[in-house]
Chains A and B, each alone.
Chain A
Amino acid sequence: DVKVTQSSRYLVKRTGEKVFLECVQDMDHENMFWYRQDPGLGLRLIYFSYDVKMKEKGDIPEGYSVSREKKERFSLILESASTNQTSMYLCASQTEPTDTQYFGPGTRLTVL
């Protein structure tokens, strides 16, 4: 069974704080993704990575950065959190582009 874990289920931060969200997968998948999920908007891709140290912007990268130093770990960084970044953040991993994506449980982030 593929397992994707995320470092926190719930997180509350203040405006301007630097926030780190971590994701770990145990299936040696090449590709990893960060999405945010908002009511009525569905899942929107923030960044993805197809190899260690490689990253590509998704649809809404502004205000975010990512880091992939090891194959199993993909981190999302909010450089200076803002209230409009309050959302559910979902990490996913995938073997190949034709394969499906496996999701973690999500981190519900609230920025006050």
Chain B
Amino acid sequence: QKEVEQDPGPLSVPEGAIVSLNCTYSNSAFQYFMWYRQYSRKGPELLMYTYSSGNKEDGRFTAQVDKSSKYISLFIRDSQPSDSATYLCAMRPHTGGFKTIFGAGTRLFVKA
């Protein structure tokens, strides 16, 4: 079983829809949770970064962490065609060095 599971999609939604992207994980030591966005033929760029449980909002994006269920989510409101990309979740324990574990990524298409 992988440490981080993420549905690869693809997920196709109409413009303006609310998008929900999710990851589950098995290691209860994970404390730092990140979402990266990766456009085609580009490197990943950080979108959201949260520590421990709770919600974090940034514009149209909301990151949610539920440590009791070992489940993290990224919500995109009023989705735009420019949101079409692959979204990778990533996580890391509080201690134990440098290793970040990435999900495989979910490919999102937002249709105009």
Interface residues of A (CB under 8 A from B): 4, 9, 31, 33, 40-43, 45, 48, 50, 56, 58, 90, 94, 97-98, 100-106, 108
Contacts and interface: CB of A to CB of B under 8 A. Distances in A.
B88 A42 contact: yes
Contacts, number: 48
B46 A42 contact: no
Contact of B98 (A42, A48, A103, A104): A48
15 contacts: A33-B98, A40-B104, A42-B6, A42-B88, A45-B99, A48-B98, A97-B92, A98-B32, A101-B46, A101-B100, A103-B44, A105-B41, A105-B42, A105-B43, A106-B42
> Which secondary structure dominates chain A's binding surface?
strand
Nearest to A58: B99
A42 B103 contact: yes
B98 A43 contact: no
A100 B43 contact: no
Contact of A102 (B42, B46, B99, B103): B46
